[in-house]
Amino acid sequence: MSQWDVVIGLEIHVRLALDSKLFSGASAQYGAAPNSQVSFLDAALPGTLPVVNERAIDYAVRFGLSIDADIPEVTRFARKNYFYPDLPKGYQISQMDDPIVGRGQIEIETDKGAKIVNITRAHLEEDAGKSIHDQYDDWTAIDLNRAGTALIEVVSEPELYSAKEAVAYMRAIYNRVTFLGICDGNLQEGSFRCDANVSLKPTGSETLGTRAEIKNLNSFRFIEKAINFEIKRQKQRLERGEEVVQETRLYDADKDQTRTMRSKEDANDYRYFPDPDLPALNITADRLAKQRAVMPELPEAKLTRYTREWHLPEDDARQLAYDVAMSQFYEQSQALTKAEPVDNAKFLITDFNALLNEQDSDIKSTNISPGQYAGLLDAMSSGEISRKIAKQVLAEMWTSGESAETIIEQQGLAQISDSGALQSIITQLIKDNPNQVEQFKAGNDKMFNYFIGQVMKQTKGQANPAQTKQILEELLSNE
């Protein structure tokens, strides 16, 4: 087998979903006309000064709390010094020694089960502008709209041991930041980017090998391919007795290979020092408490609760737990209904969802309130209507806005559970369909369904299915 162990660490850049930039009041919205969202500070005009965006702090704290990280009382910004045309000040304001989020952890799904991955730290920093190389032959065009927008950089420990694990970790962080509402999750727009540090070491060795960094991966599919290519490349070199060069590489998706990048940061000494324009920030207990209070219950916690307390099957539980709006609707309706959580979940995921798809809508936009939906659930659980009818009622609730009760009453949709009534209907049917009865007695079980169908037809679907079955069985057996 392989003599090499793979060691991967990921640095993920999460663009925060803020209205304005980290240090300036210019708009942070994506997609605007070039250089139309650049303040004097963003262009680094002499004499301009940074002022920190409070919501960026809150979002960073929220992230830190969600990964059970230490949030320090005092955090500082630092300057990372290097020259590049899309870095207007000639330094990036980032964090060095006192990052806003300390050590934390997150659980990922691997094919060997759940695994805890440690996060070294997370810190706030500003993004650079964009360099556009294909606009002109002799020039590179610079757009500073993105310069100064807020990022959180999340640094994992080098504890991922395969490309698949790396993807799982990337997904876990992605789900987390989108769930917390701190990132819009738009991969195409670059809201979530990943740098992967990949190295190999001889199996059993304690010393980490030289690592290469693959920069700016913003797709789950590509990151897996890029890492796998890189692993193969490094393995080939090491097996040939060559060294792996510590360098930065880019992934070329067309060719499915990584190549050396002529680095923007080829001067390695960034000469970090605390930014003298920004005094230290005090993160108060109040701020922490406030973020704890607004933080939604995490999907992982919901998943546990749904499976353990409400006995939902894993798949259903997962589907609801990881959908913010759905889980909210689910929990709100469950609080108002006598129906079993499992049944609620089932109906929500299948029938309600089907209706939403049909209407090209989503749970947030529906005009059916959790309370109204709870009413429908009650009608089902009490046996007043069958599930099939409930589906019909739901559609009616959607168009009319009326409550379930009203619709059932108005349209006389209540299930027929009166055994006397059912008995007469079935008795009549048996009398009227002697052929089918004969076939059933001869062993053709399909005829049973024929009779059920006929009962439903006559009762317009309102016959109580369970009772119909019971009575039909009884009467047929008497034949």
Partner 1 sequence: MINLSIRELNQLLEKKQISLPELSSIYLDRCQQFNPLLNALLHINDDIQPEQLLTADNATGLLSGIPLIHKDLFSTHGVRTTAGSRMLAEYIPPFDATVVARLNQAGMMSLGKANMDEFAMGSSNEYSYFGPVNNPWDLNRVPGGSSGGSAAAVAARLTPVATASDTGGSIRQPAAFCGITGIKPSYGRASRFGMIAFASSLDQAGVMAVSADDCGLVLEAMMGHDDKDSTSIKADPWSWQAPQDAAMQGLKVGVIPAWIEQLTDDDIKQSTLSALETLVEQGAELIEVDLPHAELAVAAYYILAPAEASANLARFDGIRFGHQCADKSDDINDMYRKTRSEGFGAEVQRRIMLGTWALSSGYYDDYYCQAQRIRRLISEDFKQAFSQVDVMAVPVSPEVPFKHGEKSDGVNMYQADQFTIPSSLAGLPCLSMPIQPAHNLPVGLQLIGPYFNEQIILTTAAKFQMVTDYHRQMPEAFV
Partner 2 sequence: MSINRKELTEMAELAKLDLNAEQTRQVGQSLNQITAMVERIKKADTAQVKPMFHPCQFWMPLRDDVVAEPSRKTELLALARHADDNFYLVPKVIE
Tokens in use for 350?
């299948």
85 binds partner 1 (CB under 8 A): yes
In angstroms, the CA 329 to CA 182 distance is 21
Instruction: State how far the Cα of 363 lies from the Cα of 361, in Å rounded to an integer.
Output: 7
Distances (CA, A) of 72 to 64, 102, 203, 245, 286: 10, 7, 37, 36, 13
Residue 328 within binding range of partner 1, rule CB under 8 A:
no
Judged by beta carbon, residue 30 or residue 272, the one nearer partner 1 is 272
Question: Binding pattern to partner 2, positions 84-113, x when CB under 8 A?
Answer: -x----------------------------
Please tell me whether residue 420 binds partner 1 under the rule CB under 8 A.
no
Interface with partner 1, residue 388, by CB under 8 A: no
For the bound state, the minimum distance from the C-beta of residue 227 to partner 2, rounded and expressed in Å, comes to 21
* H-run or E-run covering 282: strand 281-282
Residue 316 CA to residue 191 CA, distance in Å, equals 29
- How far out from the chain centre does Cα 279 lie? 36
Cβ 277 to partner 1 shortest distance, Å: 5
Q: Should residue 36 be labelled a site residue for partner 1 when binding is judged by CB under 8 A?
A: no
Cα distance between residue 354 and residue 273, in whole Å = 57
Q: Is 257 in the site for partner 2 (CB under 8 A)?
A: no
Instruction: Decide: is 76 part of the binding site for partner 2 (CB under 8 A).
Output: yes
CB 147 to partner 2: min, Å: 11
Helix H segments across 245-323? 285-294, 299-308, 314-321
For the record, the structure tokens of 35 come out as: 């250089």
Q: How many whole angstroms separate alpha carbon 318 and alpha carbon 365?
A: 22
Surface-to-core class of residue 240, CB atoms within 10 Å of its CB (0-12 exposed, 13-18 middle, 19+ buried)? exposed
The partner in contact with residue 250, picked from partner 1, partner 2, none with C-beta cut-offs of 5 to 8 angstroms by kind, is: partner 2
Pairing of strands 91-94, 78-81: antiparallel
The span from the CA of 69 to the CA of 61, in Å, is: 9
Find out whether 7 and 209 touch, Cβ atoms under 8 Å: yes
* Rounded Cα distance, 209 and 199, in Å: 5
Closest approach of Cβ 136 to partner 2, in Å?
7
Helices 434-441 & 419-432 angle (0-180, nearest 10) = 90
Query: Is 133 near partner 1 (CB under 8 A)?
Result: no
Residue 72 as a binder of partner 2 (CB under 8 A): the answer is no
Q: Is 254 in the site for partner 2 (CB under 8 A)?
A: no
Shortest reach from residue 245's CB to partner 2, in Å: 17
Strands 4-15 and 192-202: antiparallel
20 binding partner 2? (CB under 8 A)? yes
Using CB under 8 A as the binding rule, whether residue 296 contacts partner 2 is answered as no
Nearest-approach distance from CB 32 to partner 2, in angstroms: 8
Q: How far is the CB of 297 from partner 2 (least distance, A)?
A: 24
Judged by CB under 8 A, the stretch of 270-278, 318-326, 358-366, 414-422 that binds partner 1 is 270-278
Distance CA(252)–CA(426), nearest Å, equals 70
User: Looking at residue 101, what DSSP letter applies?
Assistant: B
Number of residues that bind partner 2 (CB under 8 A): 55
192's CB contacts (< 8 A; 6+ apart) are 12, 13, 14, 15, 174, 177, 183, 185, 186, 218
277 binds partner 1 (CB under 8 A): yes
* CB of 69 vs partner 2, minimal distance in Å: 21
Q: Residue 284, exposed/middle/buried by CB under 10 A (0-12, 13-18, 19+)? A: exposed
- Name the one range near partner 1 by CB under 8 A: 89-97, 246-254, 334-342, 460-468: 89-97
Any contact of residue 83 with partner 2 (CB under 8 A)?
A: yes
Binding residues among 221-250 for partner 2 as defined by CB under 8 A: 250
37 binds partner 2 (CB under 8 A): yes
50 interacts with partner 1 by CB under 8 A? yes
Which CB sits closer to partner 2, 126 or 331? 126
Name the minimum Å distance from CB 51 to partner 2: 5
Coil/strand/helix, residue 316: helix
CA 127 – CA 93 distance, rounded (Å):
9
Binder among 5, 32, 44, 158 for partner 1 (CB under 8 A): 44
At closest approach, how far in Å is the CB of 271 from partner 2? 7
**Whether the Cβ atoms of residue 176 and residue 67 lie closer than 8 Å to each other:** yes
44 binds, among partner 1, partner 2, none (CB under 5 to 8 A by kind): partner 1
Q: Which does 48 bind (CB under 5 to 8 A by kind): partner 2, partner 1, none?
A: partner 1
Query: Judged by CB under 8 A, which stretch of 47-55, 98-106, 346-354, 382-390 contacts partner 1?
Result: 47-55
State the residues that interact with partner 1 by CB under 8 A: 40, 43-52, 79, 81, 83, 85, 88-91, 140, 142, 269, 271-273, 276-279
